[in-house]
Amino acid sequence: MDFKTLTPSKTGWAGVQADALLVVVAGEGVPAGLDAPLAAALDSALSTGDFACKAGRTLYLHRPEGVKASRLVFAWSADASAKALRKAVAAGAVPLDKGGTKHLAVGVAGVGELGAAHAEAVVAALEDSVYLYRATKPSAPEPARLLQASVLCTRAEQRAVAEGLARARAVAAGVHLARECANRPANVCTPSYLAEQARKLAKSHGLKVEVLDRKDCAKLGMGAFLAVAQGSEEPPRFIVARYQGAAKSVAPIVLVGKGITFDSGGISIKPAPEMDEMKFDMGGAASVLGTLRAVAEARARVNLVGLIPSCENLPSGRSVKPGDVVTSLSGQTIEILNTDAEGRLILCDALSYAERFAPAAVVDVATLTGACMIALGHHRSGLFAADDGLAAELLAAGERALDPAWRMPLDDEYDEALESNFADMANVGPRAGGAITAAKFLQRFARKLPWAHLDIAGTAWRSGKHKGATGRPVGLLTHWVLARAG
C-alpha cells in the first residue's frame, strides 16, 4: 500500500477526494472544530439515539451530504495516544475491507498536533487490515483493493507525519516478509527455503549472504547446532546475511534468529494438540529477515548482520537422545537432558559465531520457552539483558514501535539449575522460571558480547480462529536499529 500526507485546502476534510474518508475521533463525544458537513452527518446519525461515541465503536455512513468521499467512517479512539489510534484505525478499516475503496483518506480529530508516532500507527493498522495469507490457500479471497492511504494533516504537521510514514512503510515491509515466512507450513518453509529468502533479499536489497551447510558447520565445530539437526533428513542451514550502511570500520549490530522450521520436541516429543503451531518456531529467524529488509529499505547508516541457525527438530534413529553430551562451538560441553530445549542449542553456537564480528551489540530473538508465554501472555515479549543501557534502549524501542517488551531477571542464582555431573552444563533446569534458565544458558555463551535476548514465544504468532504470524518483533528491532543509526 502507498501512503502519503495530504494537506486539505479551504474545503477541509469534507472536500477531500477519496473513495472513503475515515475520521478518527480521540476521546468521547463529537469533536470540536469538525468540518460542518461532517459534523452535520454525525449529528444526524447521533440524533437517532442508537449510537454511543465510545472507544472501539465505529459508524459507517453512505454518501453523506456535502462530503466528497462516498463512504464516511467515524472511529472512536480511547485517547490521543498512538496505541489507541492504531486500535481505532483497525476498527474503522473493518467496514471498508470488502468494498471498493482504493483510496482511503484518514483524518484524526482531537489529538492536538499529529506526530510521527500517529502516522506510524495509521500505517501499522491499515497494513495489518489488508494482510491476508494466500500462499497455500488458493481459495482465499482476492487481496484487498485498498491501494493508497492519505493521512490528513496541517502544513505544520506535514514533516513529522511524512517522516513517520516513511519509517512505518519500511517496518511494514519487514513485518510482511516475517509473516509470509512464518505462516508457511514446515513442508514449504524449510531451512533451505529460509536460505533462499535471504538470498532473494540480498539481490533485491543489496545484502551479502553466505549459507553454511552441515559440513561447513561441522568443520567450524558447531556441535550443539548439529546435534539438533541430526535427527532430520532435511539439510540444516546456517545463514549469514550482512547489510552494510556505514563505513566498514563501524562495528555492526548482530541479530540472531532461532530458525527451527518445525519443533516436534525430538525424542522428548511434544503432545499432539497444537503441535502444528511449532511451524512458527522459526519466528525469530523470520523477524531477523524482516528487520534486515526494513533497515535496508530505510537505508539506515548502520552495519547489520543477521545470523540464522536453521534446522528441524525431529525424532528418528539418528536423533540426539536425552543424556547425550555434545561440544558447542565455544568448547563448552552440554548434557542434553531434554531434546525439546533445542532452541538454546542452536542459538548458543550462533552466539559464539557472532564473536567474529566484534559487534557493537548482539540481540537474539527466539520463540524459546512456553514459560515466557505463561509469564507474560501474548502482549509483551520477554527481554533479558545484563546491561541496563541496552535493556533501556530495547524497551524504549518497543514502546515507540507499539511492539512492547518487558524486562526479566538474570540473577546468577537461576544459573545453578543448569549444573550437570556429566558436562559443563545441562540444557534444562526445573520447570519453574523456565524462561529465565533458558536465558541464563544463553548468557554462558555471550560473556564476551554486549548481549540481549528476546523471548517471543507469546508474541510471534496468534492461536485460535486468527491463527497466524504477527511479524513481531520486527517493529521493536527496526526502531532500535534506526535509533542506533542516528
Give the residue numbers marked as catalytic.
270, 344
One of 19, 120, 297, 342 touching ligand BES (CB under 6 A): 342
Instruction: Return the beta strands (E) in 372-445 as ranges.
Output: 381-385, 405-407, 425-426
Q: State the cell numbers at 375.
A: 509469564
Query: Could you tell me which of 194, 139, 98, 184 has the C-alpha nearest to residue 468?
Result: 184
One of 234, 340, 403, 455 touching Mn ion (CB under 5 A): 340
Q: Are 270 and 262 in contact (CB under 8 A)?
A: no
Q: Is 371 in the site for ligand BES (CB under 6 A)?
A: yes
CA distance 122 to 485: 24
One of 263, 312, 364, 415 touching Zn ion (CB under 5 A): 263
One of 25, 425, 457, 481 touching ligand BES (CB under 6 A): 457
Q: Is 455 in the site for ligand BES (CB under 6 A)?
A: no
Judging by DSSP bridges, how do beta strands 303-313 and 237-244 pair with one another?
antiparallel
Q: How far is the CB of 76 from Zn ion (least distance, A)?
A: 41
Q: Is 257 in the site for ligand BES (CB under 6 A)?
A: no
Apex 210 CA angle, 207 and 213, nearest 5: 155
Q: Is 364 in the site for Zn ion (CB under 5 A)?
A: no
Query: Near ligand BES by CB under 6 A, which window of 76-84, 135-143, 335-343, 446-454?
Result: 335-343
Judging by DSSP bridges, how do beta strands 208-212 and 237-244 pair with one another?
antiparallel
Query: Near Zn ion by CB under 5 A, which window of 10-18, 342-350, 354-362, 425-433?
Result: 342-350
Q: State the cell numbers at 133.
A: 495469507
Judging by DSSP bridges, how do beta strands 253-257 and 303-313 pair with one another?
parallel
One of 107, 290, 343, 398 touching Zn ion (CB under 5 A): 343
CA distance 418 to 427: 7
Q: State the cell numbers at 412.
A: 546468577
Query: Near ligand BES by CB under 6 A, which window of 182-190, 245-253, 337-345, 350-358?
Result: 337-345
The number of beta carbons lying within 10 Å of the beta carbon of residue 164 is 25
One of 14, 34, 61, 341 touching ligand BES (CB under 6 A): 341
Q: In sequence order, what DSSP letters do the residues of 206-247 get, joined into one string?
A: T-EEEEE-HHHHHHHT-HHHHHHHTT-SSPPEEEEEEEE-S-
Q: Is 349 in the site for Zn ion (CB under 5 A)?
A: no
Q: How far is the CB of 237 from ligand BES (least distance, A)?
A: 18
Query: Near Mn ion by CB under 5 A, which window of 71-79, 196-204, 209-217, 337-345?
Result: 337-345
One of 19, 263, 312, 415 touching Mn ion (CB under 5 A): 263
The phi and psi torsions of 473 (rounded to 5 degrees) equal -105, 50
What is the Cα Rg of the chain in Å? 24
Comparing CB distances to Mn ion, the nearer of 340 and 393 is 340
The listed partner (Mn ion, Zn ion, ligand BES, none) that binds 148, CB under 5 to 8 Å by sort, is none
Q: How far is the CB of 364 from ligand BES (least distance, A)?
A: 14
Comparing CB distances to Mn ion, the nearer of 120 and 263 is 263
Comparing CB distances to Zn ion, the nearer of 359 and 473 is 473
Cα 270 from chain centroid (whole Å) = 26
Comparing CB distances to Mn ion, the nearer of 150 and 268 is 268
The number of beta carbons lying within 10 Å of the beta carbon of residue 47 is 9
Where along the sequence are the contacts to Mn ion (CB under 5 A)?
263, 340, 342
Where along the sequence are the contacts to Zn ion (CB under 5 A)?
260, 263, 281, 343
Where along the sequence are the contacts to ligand BES (CB under 6 A)?
263, 281, 338, 340-343, 367-371, 373, 428, 434, 457
